[in-house]
Amino acid sequence: MATCPQGHASAADDYCDVCGAQLAPAPPPRSEPAPQAAPASCPVCRTPRAGQFCEVCGHDYTGTGAPPSQPAHVTGVRWEAVAAADRAYYEKVIAEGGPDAGSVAFPPYCPQRSFALSDEQVRIGRRSRARNLAPEIDLTGPPEDPGVSHLHAVLLAQPDGSWLLVDPGSSNGTRLNGRPLTVNVPVRVGAGDRIHLGAWTVITLREGAP
């Protein structure tokens, strides 16, 4: 039953059979778009989907923008820490003296070791079974620098892709580009910075996959 503009009920659907007014054609039924299936993996890095944002590259599945805060290891910047032996630093440490200065020898061979900075916290030190400690930058060796504490320093990832370095209280201290760090005071570090610790160990930060 149709209703004309005057309010009459009409059995006809083209003109009102009471007053003869033309009736408006009924609108076509609205078709709802078929729901699209959510992607099962990230279209950028192919990581299985586990939420609105990709856990590896930060891709936004809804297309509304980037996550409000991303760890440094998913901002697209790849970092590495390269550990080596520094003869000049060793000679300076020995010249300054200390209870073990006479018994610490510079290693005749120490290859460079590269460590990827892929976690939000990267610990620097020597592993300890007794303390159940396995630092991400493991300087256990060989050769082993006896001046490096089991937990000597920590690198902390920042949301903008940068890093902070903190010495939580190592036995022999940490130096950044020649300057000693204050215990538990974070200092910003970046590409090219040199971290000295122990008797002869130097760690250089670099951008790029190791």
Residue 15 lies in a domain: no
CA distances from 68 to 43, 58, 73, 79, 160 (A): 20, 10, 15, 22, 11
- pLDDT tens for residues 38-79? 567 766 545 677 666 655 445 555 654 434 344 444 445 689
Query: Is 21 a domain residue?
Result: no
141 and 104 co-located in one domain = yes
Grade residue 137 by pLDDT with cuts at 50, 70 and 90: very high
The residue whose two tokens read 């590495």 is: 80
- 131 and 171 fall within a common domain: yes
Q: Do 93 and 166 sit in the same domain of this protein? A: yes
What's the pLDDT at 47? 61
| Residue 146 burial (CB count, 10 A) | 15
The whole domain housing 201 covers 74-207
Task: Kindly state whether residues 48 and 152 are assigned to the same domain.
Answer: no
In a domain, 26, yes or no: no
Per the CB < 8 A criterion, the answer to whether 58 and 167 are in contact is no
Residue 123 has pLDDT above 90, yes or no: yes
The amino acid at 207: E
| Contact by Cβ (8 Å): 172, 198 | yes
The verdict on residue 105 lying in a domain is yes
Virtual torsion, Cα 52, 56, 57, 62, nearest 10 deg: -10
Number of H helices, E strands in the chain: 1, 13
Q: State the CB neighbour count (10 A cutoff) for residue 84.
A: 15
Count of structural domains within the chain: 2
The DSSP line for 47-67 is PBP-SSB-TTT--BTTSS---
User: What is the per-residue pLDDT across 75-102, written as a single tens digit (0 to 9) for each?
Assistant: 456 899 999 999 999 999 999 886 566 7
The CATH number covering residue 119 comes to 2.60.200.20
Q: Please tell me whether residues 55 and 154 are part of one structural domain.
A: no
Whether 151 and 83 share a structural domain = yes
Give the model's pLDDT for residue 77.
Answer: 65
pLDDT at 86: 96
Is the pTM for the entire model greater than 0.85? no
Rounded to an integer, what distance in angstroms lies between the CA atom of residue 152 and that of residue 132?
15
More confident residue, 3 or 107: 107
Q: Which two tokens stand for residue 2?
A: 């149709």
Residue 145 domain-assigned? yes
